[in-house]
Amino acid sequence: MMMESAGLWMLLAVAVVLLGSGLPAYAVLMGVSALFAAVGLLTGALDYGVLTALPSRIIGLLETDLLQALPLYVFMGALLNRLPLADRLFRCGVALGGTPSVATLGLGALLAPMNGSVGASVAMLSRSVAPKLEARGVPAAESTALVCVASTLGVVIPPSLVLILLGDAMMRAHTEATNVTKEMVRIVNTQDVFRGALAPAGLFLLLSLVVAWWLGRKTRAARGAAEKPSAMEWATAIVSAVFVIGLLAGVAAGYFYAVEAAAMGGTALLLFGLATGGLKGGVFGHVLRDTMAVSGALFALFVAATTFTLLFRAFGTDRLLDAWVKLVPGGATGAAITVLVVFALCAFVLDAFEIVFVIVPIVMPSILTRAPDAVWISVLALLALQASFLVPPSGYAVMMARSQMKQKTAIGPLARALAPYIGAQLVVLVLVVLVPRLAHLAEPPRASAAAPAKLDDDASRKRFNDMLKLPPPE
């Protein structure tokens, strides 16, 4: 029992060191993993042969084609943060007759899925949109709340980087779960997660736009004093909006892959920057440095998380966790609520990428043995992440926005400004929990399948090895 609980002590150590030191997550994960591996080897709790599987495991995971999209999404986020595209889209959105609040959320829905991360979206919106909200008389608390909500739309609107990585992680977790249950079912993939997120994300966006319009009506009169967009800015905004919507719709519908969409988006933004002169004066060099730094940190996080989860399983903590999950009452609904609680708690310490790389491989296989609807569970995990990022004072988006905004706001007014949006998020969460069908509305019709068949041990082991690209046991 003591050895099986070692993985939980590893998780606690990571949380404490992250909060107390401010070190990068990949350094903390790797340091904690190395420390517990050394202790495990010295005490005989670990077999050295288990650790020799780490290089092949890392190489196999890094060969995943979807990871090609990672630096491309980071590149798009770096370009969006440096180019004036967001400014033009915002001004044209307000000029169309929308309130500044509605224009901010519309901009987040367009650009946040291409931005790579919540932090990148916060930086872009704080730099380009927040000053214009202030100029139009939007209070500081409401401006900060709008930046928070708009920046988290990329968590749930496909084909964001978070959705891509979560889809890949859920595919592996679902494979492990089917190896336990021995059921012959279709394994979830990234495209399934994209389609599953469409209806809940659309519902949340609609509710948020209604809230923003209702609360932002008083700023409508101030928009007339703003400078009108030029004809060139209108043309840029229209072409950009059509291109982005077509790109997102094409990926969600399965017409092209996320890697292709990221490459097209990055190329289009690069051409826009060259045509408008926005990449002069060393700006492009800064974009490349930002891209390399963030991509390197994400790949380092990926390697560190793989090392951490290997040790977590080597200690047998996954079996302990599985036993605890089986004690949760309520069947599939109880397992779904467990996902919401775990992800909500983790989001106060970890960002989205750390949760996908570390928590999903640990928690999801056990959850999916109780709740086999992997698409439904994936959507709930995304919604829980987004909601947790918006909860003050320690929600990730809240902390990032408060540090980036020039207009500082206290927690009390910010919490009141965020309350209607968090309420809309909770409405969507409850609906998806009670009506799992909402996560399947965008699925294409499929021929009815026969009842799930059982796999024998050899077939289960072969499927798992194929998914992880590990050599079969001798």
Q: What is the pLDDT of residues 299-338, one digit of tens each?
A: 999 899 999 999 998 998 888 888 888 888 888 888 888 8
Q: What is the 3-state secondary structure (H, E, C) of the chain?
A: CCCCCHHHHHHHHHHHHHHHHCCCHHHHHHHHHHHHHHHHHHHCCCCHHHHCCHHHHHHHHHCCHHHHHHHHHHHHHHHHHHCCHHHHHHHHHHHCCCCHHHHHHHHHHHHHHHCCCHHHHHHHHHHHCHHHHHHCCCCHHHHHHHHHHHHHHHHHCCCCHHHHHHHHHHHHHHHHHHHHHCEECCCCCHHHHHHHHHHHHHHHHHHHHHHHHHHCHHHCHHHHHCCCCCHHHHHHHHHHHHHHHHHHHHHHHCCCCHHHHHHHHHHHHHHHHHHHCCCCCCHHHHHHHHHHHHHHHHHHHHHHHHHHHHHHHHCCHHHHHHHHHHCCCCHHHHHHHHHHHHHHHHCCCCCHHHHHHHHHHHHHHHHHHHCCCHHHHHHHHHHHHHHHHCCCCCCHHHHHHHHHCCCCCCHHHHHHHHHHHHHHHHHHHHHHHHCHHHHHCCCCCCCCCCCCEECCHHHHHHHHHHHHCCCCCC
pLDDT score recorded for residue 449: 42
pLDDT over threshold 90, residue 35: yes
For residues 115 and 128, is the Cβ–Cβ distance under 8 A? no
For residue 2, the tally of other CB atoms under 10 A from its CB is 9
pLDDT score recorded for residue 457: 57
pLDDT over threshold 50, residue 290: yes
pLDDT over threshold 80, residue 46: yes
Of residues 446 and 8, more confidently modeled: 8
Q: What is the pLDDT of residues 54-86, one digit of tens each?
A: 888 888 777 777 788 889 988 998 888 888 888
141-145, 170-174, 432-436, 469-473: the lowest-pLDDT one: 469-473
pLDDT score recorded for residue 31: 94
pLDDT over threshold 70, residue 1: no
112: tokens are 């946040």
pLDDT over threshold 90, residue 179: no
pLDDT score recorded for residue 451: 47
pLDDT score recorded for residue 409: 86
Q: What is the pLDDT of residues 342-356, one digit of tens each?
A: 888 887 777 788 888
pLDDT over threshold 70, residue 295: yes
Q: What is the pLDDT of residues 190-236, one digit of tens each?
A: 889 988 999 999 999 999 999 999 887 765 544 444 568 888 889 98
Average pLDDT over residues 274-297: 90
Average pLDDT over residues 42-53: 85
pLDDT score recorded for residue 464: 52
Rounded Cα distance between 111 and 109, Å, is 6
For residue 416, the tally of other CB atoms under 10 A from its CB is 13
pLDDT score recorded for residue 221: 47
Compute the mean pLDDT over every residue in the chain, rounded to the nearest whole number: 84
- pLDDT band, very low/low/confident/very high, at 474 (cuts 50, 70, 90): very low
Average pLDDT over residues 132-157: 90
Alpha helices by DSSP H, 216-316 = 231-253, 258-276, 283-314
User: Please, what is the angle between helix 231-253 and helix 258-276, to 10°?
Assistant: 170
44-58, 261-275, 291-305: the lowest-pLDDT one: 44-58
Average pLDDT over residues 143-149: 93
Q: What is the pLDDT of residues 401-457, one digit of tens each?
A: 888 888 788 899 999 999 999 999 999 999 999 999 999 998 877 644 444 555 555
Of residues 446 and 95, more confidently modeled: 95
pLDDT over threshold 70, residue 165: yes
82-86, 114-118, 389-393, 436-440: the lowest-pLDDT one: 114-118
pLDDT score recorded for residue 148: 93
pLDDT score recorded for residue 63: 75
pLDDT score recorded for residue 447: 44
pLDDT over threshold 60, residue 465: no
Rounded Cα distance between 181 and 11, Å, is 27
Percent of the chain with pLDDT over 70: 91
